[in-house]
Amino acid sequence: MSRLLQELRSKILTFEGPVVATVTPSNQTGKINCEIIGKYASRLRSIGVRGAFIHGTTGEAFTLTNAEKMSLTREWAKHSHSLLTIINVSSTSASESIEHARLCEELAVDAIAMLPHIYYRPKDESELVEYLKLIASAAPNTPLIYYHFPACTHVELNLTKFVLLALREIPSFVGMKYTSGDIIEVQRVLYQFKDSVKIFMGFEETLLPALVCGANAAICALFNLAECTKAYDVMRDVYVHDLHKALEEQKRLALKFKDLSQEGHLFINVRKALKDETNGEISAGAPRPPLSMN
């Protein structure tokens, strides 16, 4: 393992706090708007966000071409200083993921993330690890984070077995973005691999129980909003000695999640809320088909 990879692994394993799932800004003609990224990154830092997860579900990754994603990656790399920068390089094409992963290593981002293939789904843990290993080999000095989102990918494997195999077969494997409500499963992973795997929670509604289990970092769409980032920080600060206050903050996040999920997609409504909260300064524009603002 290279010294650079060791340093980045340590940076991720010791990381705590909120990582925002970024939106992908577009202009009135539907083209991506890279010009706003610098302002967007500065705004995130100002509200206490400590990292950025780019090209995730909130960023509508599967509505973008690989060229568009790589343009956005270059722009985020210019402006994300002091933010832990994680780039999701997932694609339906392994060659596109490899190309994107190589770019991420050239740009010295902190980590890349990968979903399982969303159409040709892995039949077991070994098949998943082999696929991730292929992509990771294109960026051998960049930590790899597995993006676990079974509600969307329909890939539900034994995560304890997967982590054990990934740690053995992929030198750069360092953790998971865990977007699932199954606290028992994440608890098992944390208890067995806490010192060697970082778990970033992905569901706003389960952040407090995850904290109690030892998951002290999260990647969430709601961290685009100042009140939600603050709620998570307060929760992390007080949950050990003031559970009542921590529960209040978890309730605040859960209610906001419910409010923004009642009509349409959560991440589309986050775009609207972000525009309102910044008085139009950070306007992400309209999403791409098949998504809509309706």
Residues whose CB is less than 8 angstroms from the CB of residue 60 and which lie 6 or more positions away in sequence, other chains included: 23, 24, 267, 287, 288, 291
Asked whether the beta carbons of 89 and 112 are under 8 A apart, the reply is yes
Residue 219 among known ligand-binding residues: yes
Catalytic site includes residue 177: yes
- Which residue type, as a one-letter code, is found at position 210? A
What are 155-210's pLDDT values in tens digits? 999 999 999 999 999 999 999 999 999 999 999 999 999 899 999 999 999 999 99
Catalytic site includes residue 191: no
Catalytic residue chosen out of the listed positions 40, 131, 177, 256: 177
Model pTM greater than 0.95?
yes
What are 218-275's pLDDT values in tens digits? 999 999 999 999 999 999 999 999 999 999 999 999 999 999 999 888 989 999 999 9
93: DSSP letter: S
Residue carrying structure tokens 């060229």? 67
What are 56-80's pLDDT values in tens digits? 999 999 999 999 999 999 999 999 9
CATH H superfamily, domain 3-277: Aldolase class I (3.20.20.70)
Catalytic residue chosen out of the listed positions 147, 178, 232, 239: 147
Rounded to an integer, what distance in angstroms lies between the CA atom of residue 194 and that of residue 119? 31
Residue carrying structure tokens 């992400």? 284
- Which residue type, as a one-letter code, is found at position 95? S
